[in-house]
Chains A and B, each alone.
Chain A
């Protein structure tokens, strides 16, 4: 059973912020929220992760609601190179716990 729900696709204009939502209403207290993306047929690329607090790095920001049942990945200034499939994943960080990638959200950035 999927632990996360994401929209199938989203569009964004180049230069604008892309806000990708994710629902994880059954998340456990020890589970982190991870975001990855996969550009075309390349290997997935780690973007960011968080537990309770909002996080920011050079690639993106992660906003987690107070009840932790949903989160939003923000790409502040989307470029054409950000066109990819974005995966929201919850994980308890145990070595044998498979990161369940699901089908993700296909983000299309256009000029």
Chain B
């Protein structure tokens, strides 16, 4: 199993550009999450999904959109990129259900710089 795969690993955007961060998992996990981590800080939840066709906002959803058309994929869309979106983005997944809901598997991260 590849686990959670994120692409691209690095990207530089100009202010106002848009892009999609890709996330795929091959563990048949129902729950998927997008977090961002600013330098020296903890992770903040952007969006999450409990299954195909179901998404919901986390702590910091403004400026982002998501979709979940399949169990495997959970792309994160940045519209009109701003310097405040410069961060490292982590995608995570878990099989969910009961005591194991908090056992998240994380990708390696996508490092985004907006200039």
Contacts and interface: CB of A to CB of B under 8 A. Distances in A.
Given A95-B50, A98-B44, A103-B42, A43 B107 contact: yes
Interface in A88-111: 89, 91, 93-96, 98-104
B106 to A, nearest CB: 3
Interface string A43-66: 111100101000000000000000
A9 B109 CA distance: 24
B18 interface: no
B90 interface: yes
A96 B101 CA distance: 10
How many chain B residues sit at the interface, stated as a range, is: 20 to 34
B109 A32 contact: no
Nearest to B39: A41
How many chain A residues sit at the interface, stated as a range, is: 20 to 34
B103 interface: yes
Given A43-B90, A44-B90, A99 B48 contact: no
Interface in B9-45: 31, 40-45
26 contacts: A34-B102, A41-B88, A43-B90, A43-B92, A43-B108, A44-B43, A44-B106, A46-B105, A49-B102, A87-B42, A89-B102, A91-B101, A93-B99, A93-B100, A94-B101, A95-B96, A96-B48, A96-B50, A96-B56, A96-B58, A99-B45, A99-B102, A99-B104, A102-B42, A103-B40, A103-B41
Interface of A: 32, 34, 36, 41-46, 49, 51, 87, 89, 91, 93-96, 98-104
